[in-house]
Structure 1
Amino acid sequence: MKIERLQTLVTCPGRNFVTVKITTDQGVHGLGDATLNGRELAVVAYLEEHVFPCLVGKDPRNIEDIWQYLYRGAYWRRGPVTMTAIAAIDMALWDILGKLAGMPVWRLLGGKSRAGVMVYGHANGRDHAEAVEAVQQHLEQGYKAIRVQSGVPGMDKVYGVGKTRGFYEPAQKGLPPEEDWDTALYLRHTPELFRKVREAVGPDVHLLHDAHHRLTPIEAAQLCKSLEPWRLFWVEDATPAENQEAFRLIRQHSTTPLAVGEIFNSIWDCKDLIQNQLVDYIRSTIVHAGGITHLRRIADFAALHQVRTGFHGATDLSPVTMAAAVNFGLWVPNFGIQELMPHNALTDEVFPHAYRFEDGHLVMDEVPGLGVDIDETLAAKYPYERAYLPVARLRDGTLWNW
């Protein structure tokens, strides 16, 4: 069996997605997600100019060798473009292998460790009252875990909060919008938000919060300590993790669990954080961290140090990645939680899939491969549209972490 054809399929059913389709000489095809939010076409060029020509004629069942070939063989390793491209190929090969075996990928990985994958939804509001109401709506929908973000008095725009009630999509058409940020206002506001939410919903709901890399290490420590009375499931991205030692300072001041890693590309980005037990959940994604093959190594390494998975699952990942994440989450022994920002109805039409939401969990039946496909005819009706995430500045104009 040989790889005969490789394609990139770019579509924008509300936001941009890049999909890799690999077809074998026996007519079996597999899909992989190659979406890198705001840099989508860079990955397309990397794949079409530098990866696809090297893979024609290779045996698609040799997943490990192909992964090593693309990582070690390129010499220039890591980085989001490279690792997203590798991830897309890897996902597609696992999809093919599952179809050849007549088994879902979760079974190829070793079978189910759980009946379903617990997910957390996003509740946000322009003020505290709206945020509390959004949390209650998520509980009515069946969520057991909920991330809470709220507007901050005195700031026009806050991460995680849309301009209207409900759905939040950060990527915007055109050039990057700029937003103001004020750390002092945020630090004064956030503990009060969670006091009100906890009083409204009681002690049994898992509550999460995303600081989105906005804080210095000592500011992050202050936030985590101030949130301790409200017993959060985690605080995510409390401070930028390029300096992994920064999380040691947070640990010294607070017992609030920490999650990080959605922008990590390899095991080397999180090695010190995990082996020194400076975080509790690793959030690396299948699409940006080298695919199932590499993320399995990260998860196994994390398990040795009692760190659990908590993968990124925003709408900048296509249903192909979400299908892969559900397969992975059903198997991985040290599963913690899975983020879920539901895609719009049109995206679900373009990418028909086998996973579904039930009672706060994503579940999947015994479907060969990843359990996801693409309607190429429908996808072609929605061409690429340039879109970017925002850029943040402090009120004095200093560029900050968005």
Structure 2
Amino acid sequence: MKLFVCQVCTNILYFENRSCGRCGHQLAFMPERQILSAIEPAEEGFRTLTDHGTGRFFCANAEHDACNWLLETGETAGFCRACRHNGTIPNLSDPAQLAGWRELEVAKHRLFYSLIRWKLPVKTRIEDPEHGLIFNFLADDPVGQQKVMTGHDNGLVTIALAEADDFERERRRLEMDEPYRTLLGHFRHEVGHYFWDVLVRDAGRLEECRAVFGDDTQDYGEALRRHYDQGPPVDWQDNFVSAYATTHPWEDFAETWAHYLHIVDTLEMASEFGIEIDPPADQIGGLTARVTFDPYVAEDFDTIVNAWLPFTFAMNSVARAMGARDLYPFILTPPVIGKLGFVHHLVRQGAQQKSVALAPEKPQAEPQQEEIGAA
């Protein structure tokens, strides 16, 4: 993620800022340029001060303070590149559900920042009615009879609204013995399944992928039951980035995909701050790194991983000094790095494909009470 600068007063801005804390100008994100721009009212819509363009309008979800992205040039109504992929959203007349949905949108927009930066092919349900990417944000049955499960099914990503509650998410993290559980992590993992469909299965790379992640034809339901009944293998850390990745090659790919997004986006932020790791106590030199490159355009994955390992060692040490959990509580062994490298090359190849995001198949609606299993 980048740091942004206010075009009026040069104040440093963050991706989620809606207004500049110094000069008060309203801000909007321009997805086609990946720039957060100060804006001013124009005769029609808004004028973007980054390029002095006029006639720009906000995504319809700005009405609910759930989005500050601009529509495409020439569009006056509808949804932005990120929100066009929304299917079902929570009940916005319920303040708690509205607040939860806003938290989900923060994570979803960070996801789309990455997808747009890479120019990855992402189709809506209008373009591909059967497999287009669509998000349903569902609340549990109010009488407690049915719980929503976060998961993926042929381009349909279901995110449980309950995950937006910090207490509930932490309860589930502890219950499932996970070192890391965030909303952004959910989005990155689930969209990994979508891109397995698009960049592996539909792109004729099944055999390449199987050579790295294993045979995906094994029964998924049985693999899932085995994982929850028996747990991961004792030596799982030798070959997998997480315990859940051991469940099935699909989950291994999705977990690895999510970690690749974690690594690249975090390193971009480190680069924006000009972070350099050079501990005097390091006599060997293995913990030295200068994060001064753009990981989104790095061709060689070794450049990325060679910066990531010293950076996370430093950040984990800082977190421990504060009595907090490690920022990145995972071990990257050579086999795991090999899998990440596969995803890196897959992303770079997939970025050559073009896609145009269209309007959503139907307006955002109240949640349907259905349960979608992870897949």
Tell me the TM-score range normalised by the shorter chain.
under 0.3
Higher strand share: 1
- Give TM-score, length-normalised by structure 1: 0.25
- Give TM-score, length-normalised by structure 2: 0.26
